[in-house]
C-alpha cells in the first residue's frame, strides 16, 4: 500500500514552529552575511552598521510590500565601483571617514527614488508592458550571468587560507583550504539531495556546520588557524552600530544614483524566479491559492527603493534583494515571510554584540567558498528555469541573438579587463551586468519591430 506524502516546504504565508523558524532564519543569515560584509569592507563603510542596515531594510521591505514578497535585502555589488569612486575621490581626500560615508549616503538615498519611480510606472502600466521590455530571454539571461559572474568569487574563497603564515606553511594551507571547501560543498549537496522530511530544509546550515567542524579539526592537526574568534576587537560586549547621516553632494548623485537603473532587470529576474518556485511548491502541496508574485514587480521595486533610502539614511550601502537567499529558499523550499522577518531581527541583534559578529566572522572563507559554488550555480540555473517555464523558443533567431549578447557582454565584461566587472568604453567604465542588461533590452525592442505584424 503506497502512501502519498505531501512535499515538505513553507509558502510565504505559512509559519514554521519556533525552533524551525530560528534555524531557517539562521540559514538565511549565513548566506547573506559574507557578501553584505564584503561590500562594507571594500567600500570602507562600517561593518556593524551595514549589517544592521541590511536587517532593518529587509524588515521595512517586508512590511512595505504587505508581507507578500519573500525577499531579503543585502548590500549590492552593482554599486561598489560607484561608491568606491566617491570614497576615494581626490576632492574628498581631506575628509574624515564618516564625512566620506555621509557624502556617499546621499547618492545612495537618491538612488532609492529611481527604483520607487520605476516601480510606480510599472504599477500604472501593468505587467504586459514590463514583459515587452523585460521578456524571459532578458530576465533569464541576466539571472544566468549574475550567478556565473560570481563564479570567480566562489572559487577564490574556496582557495583562501589565513594570512600571515610562514612561507613554508602556505602550500599546505591552500591545500587544506581546498579540502575544507570540498567537504563543505559535497556535504551540502548530499544533504540537499538525500535528507528527507524537515531535515531536507536545512542543507545549507548543515553544510556550514560540517565545513566548520572540518576546519576546526584540520586547524587542530596542522596548527593553521582557519577558525579565529577575535576578528573584531572592541572594548565592550555590547556596541551600538556607528550611524552616520547623508550630506548633499552633486558628485554622489552623479556617480551613484544612475546605478539604480541597472539593478531593475536584476530585481525583475529575482521576482520572476520566486514566482515560479513558490507556485510550483503551492501546486505540489495541493494548494489552490495562486501567489501572483510576478505581478507585484512594481511593488517590489518600490520596496527596494525604500530599502535603499532606509539603509543609506543610517550609513549602510545601497542594496537589492539577494539571489543567494532566493537560491537557499529554492533549495530548502522555505519561502516563509515570518522566517525572513526573524532573520532580519536576528541580523540587527547580531550587529550590536561583538561576540556574535565575531562568531559569524569565525566561519572560514573556504567554507563560504564551498557554499558559494553551490549557491551561485543555483542562481544561474534559476535563469534557465525562467526561460524553460516561459517556453522560450531556442530556435528563434531573435531569442538567440538577445541571449547571446547578454551572456557574452555580461560574462566577458565580468572576467575581462582586469576582472573588475567594469567595461572600459569611450573613455568611461560601464558595469558589465548593467551593460549586458541594457544591451539586451535595446536589442529586444529593436528586433521586436514588425514582429507583431508578421505574427498577424
Which pLDDT value is given to residue 319?
A: 85
Return the exposure string of 84-115: e unless at least 16 CB atoms fall within 10 Å of the residue's CB, then b: ebbbebeebeeeeeeebbbbbbbbbbbbbebb
CA distance 317 to 363: 23
Rounded to 5 degrees, what are φ and ψ at 289? -75, 135
Cell of 102: 555621509
Q: Over its length of 456 residues, how does the chain's per-residue pLDDT go in tens digits? A: 444 566 788 999 999 999 999 999 999 998 888 778 878 876 778 888 999 999 999 999 999 999 999 999 988 777 776 787 788 777 888 889 899 999 999 999 999 998 999 899 888 887 777 778 888 898 889 888 878 888 888 899 899 999 888 888 899 999 999 999 999 999 999 999 998 877 788 888 899 999 999 999 999 999 999 998 877 776 677 888 889 999 998 888 887 887 787 678 778 888 888 998 899 999 988 888 888 898 898 999 999 999 999 999 999 998 888 878 888 898 889 999 999 999 999 999 999 988 888 887 788 989 988 988 998 888 888 788 888 888 889 899 999 999 999 999 989 988 888 766 778 888 877 778 778 888 998 999 999 886 654 443
Q: How far is CA 213 from the centre of its chain?
A: 26
CA distance 162 to 173: 8
Q: What is the DSSP string of 106-175?
A: HHHHHHHHHHHHHHHHHHHH-HHHHHHHS-HHHHHHHHHHHHHHTHHHHHHHHT---SS--HHHHHHHHH
Contacts for 159 with CB less than 8 Å, ≥ 6 apart: 174, 177, 178, 181, 366, 369
- Give CA torsion, residues 382, 40, 33, 268, to 10 deg: -20
Return the exposure string of 235-264: e unless at least 16 CB atoms fall within 10 Å of the residue's CB, then b: eeeeeebbebebbebebbeebbbebbebbb
Question: For the whole prediction, is pTM greater than 0.85?
Answer: no
Which pLDDT value is given to residue 454?
A: 43
Distances (CA, A) of 23 to 205, 348, 382: 8, 16, 24
The SS3 of residue 74 is strand
- Identify whether the C-beta of residue 28 lies closer than 8 Å to the C-beta of residue 343: yes
CA distance 378 to 333: 13
Name the residue among 308, 289, 316, 200 with its Cα closest to residue 12: 289
Partners of residue 321 on adjacent β-strands: 73
Amino acid at each position: 500500500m503506497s502512501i502519498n506524502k505531501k512535499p515538505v516546504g513553507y509558502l510565504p504565508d505559512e509559519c514554521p514552529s519556533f525552533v524551525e523558524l530560528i534555524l531557517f532564519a539562521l540559514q538565511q543569515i549565513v548566506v547573506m552575511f559574507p557578501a553584505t560584509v564584503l561590500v562594507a569592507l571594500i567600500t570602507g563603510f562600517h561593518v556593524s552598521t551595514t549589517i544592521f542596515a541590511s536587517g532593518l531594510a529587509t524588515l521595512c521591505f517586508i512590511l512595505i510590500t504587505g508581507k507578500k514578497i519573500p525577499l531579503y535585502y543585502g548590500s549590492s555589488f552593482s554599486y561598489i565601483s560607484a561608491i568606491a569612486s566617491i570614497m576615494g575621490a581626490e576632492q574628498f581626500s581631506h575628509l574624515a571617514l564618516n564625512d566620506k560615508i555621509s557624502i556617499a549616503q546621499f547618492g545612495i538615498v537618491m538612488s532609492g527614488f529611481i527604483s520607487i519611480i520605476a516601480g510606480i510606472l510599472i504599477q500604472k502600466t501593468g505587467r504586459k508592458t514590463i514583459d515587452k521590455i523585460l521578456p524571459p530571454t532578458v530576465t533569464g539571461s541576466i539571472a544566468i550571468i549574475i550567478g556565473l559572474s560570481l563564479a570567480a568569487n566562489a572559487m577564490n574563497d574556496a582557495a583562501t587560507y589565513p594570512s600571515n603564515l610562514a612561507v613554508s606553511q602556505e602550500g599546505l594551507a591552500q591545500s587544506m583550504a581546498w579540502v575544507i571547501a570540498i567537504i563543505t560543498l559535497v556535504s551540502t549537496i548530499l544533504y540537499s539531495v538525500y535528507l528527507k522530511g524537515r531535515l531536507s530544509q536545512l542543507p545549507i546550515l548543515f553544510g556550514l556546520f560540517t565545513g566548520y567542524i572540518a576546519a576546526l579539526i584540520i586547524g587542530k592537526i596542522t596548527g593553521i588557524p582557519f577558525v579565529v574568534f577575535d576578528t573584531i576587537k572592541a572594548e565592550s560586549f555590547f556596541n551600538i552600530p556607528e550611524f552616520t547621516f547623508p550630506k548633499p553632494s552633486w558628485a554622489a548623485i552623479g556617480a551613484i544614483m544612475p546605478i539604480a537603473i541597472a539593478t531593475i532587470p536584476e530585481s525583475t529576474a529575482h521576482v520572476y524566479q520566486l514566482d515560479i518556485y513558490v507556485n510550483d511548491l503551492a501546486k505540489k502541496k495541493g494548494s489552490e491559492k495562486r501567489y501572483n508574485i510576478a505581478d507585484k514587480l512594481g511593488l517590489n521595486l518600490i520596496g527596494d527603493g525604500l530599502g535603499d533610502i532606509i539603509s543609506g539614511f543610517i550609513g549602510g550601502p545601497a542594496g537589492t534583494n539577494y539571489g543567494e537567499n532566493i537560491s537557499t529558499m529554492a533549495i530548502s523550499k522555505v519561502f516563509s515571510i515570518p522566517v525572513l522577518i526573524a532573520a532580519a531581527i536576528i541580523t540587527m541583534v547580531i550587529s550590536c554584540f561583538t561576540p556574535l559578529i565575531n562568531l559569524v566572522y569565525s566561519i572560514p572563507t573556504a567554507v563560504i567558498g564551498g557554499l558559494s559554488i553551490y549557491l551561485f550555480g543555483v542562481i544561474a540555473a534559476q535563469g534557465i528555469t525562467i526561460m524553460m517555464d516561459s517556453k522560450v523558443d531556442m530556435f528563434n533567431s531573435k531569442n538567440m541573438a538577445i541571449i547571446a549578447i547578454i551572456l557574452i557582454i555580461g560574462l566577458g565584461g565580468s572576467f575581462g579587463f582586469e576582472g573588475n566587472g567594469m567595461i572600459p568604453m569611450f573613455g568611461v567604465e560601464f558595469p558589465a551586468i548593467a551593460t549586458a542588461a541594457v544591451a539586451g533590452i535595446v536589442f529586444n525592442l529593436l528586433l521586436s519591430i514588425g514582429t507583431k505584424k508578421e505574427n498577424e
